[in-house]
């Protein structure tokens, strides 16, 4: 197994999830969530356009590069909700 970069590793057992939406779609609120220790940025593909989601992903990846701290980005897929 490859060695883990200790500067990137988080030493806690929980993850903080931030669901991104209209109020958190530009760099300032996403950066604020990141600096407030969000580990996961959830994208909801049922709302918004593909270009908007790409912009959010580009912002998140840019912040990761600047800080050297990774995050994950799960998504809710578009389409009919199943119950």
pLDDT tens by residue, 9-68: 566 778 899 999 888 889 999 999 999 999 999 998 888 888 988 999 999 999 999 999
| pLDDT band for position 81 (cuts 50, 70, 90) | low
- Assess contact for 36 and 65: CB atoms under 8 A: no
Nearest to 57 by CA among 20, 29, 8: 20
**Predicted pLDDT at 4:** 46
Q: How far apart are CA 26 and CA 29, in angstroms?
A: 6
pTM of the full structure: 0.77
Measured at the alpha carbon of residue 49, what is the angle toward residues 32 and 80, in degrees to the nearest 5?
Answer: 110
Q: Hey, what are 29's tokens? A: 């609120």
**Predicted pLDDT at 45:** 84
């Amino acid at each position: 197994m490859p060695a883990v970069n200790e500067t990137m590793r988080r030493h806690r057992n929980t993850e903080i999830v931030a669901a991104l939406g209209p109020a958190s779609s530009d760099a300032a609120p996403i950066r604020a969530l990141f600096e407030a220790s969000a580990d996961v940025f959830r994208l909801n593909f049922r709302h918004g356009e593909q270009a908007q989601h790409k912009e959010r992903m580009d912002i998140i990846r840019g912040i990761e590069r600047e800080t050297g701290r990774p995050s994950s980005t799960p998504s809710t897929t578009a389409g009919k909700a199943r119950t």
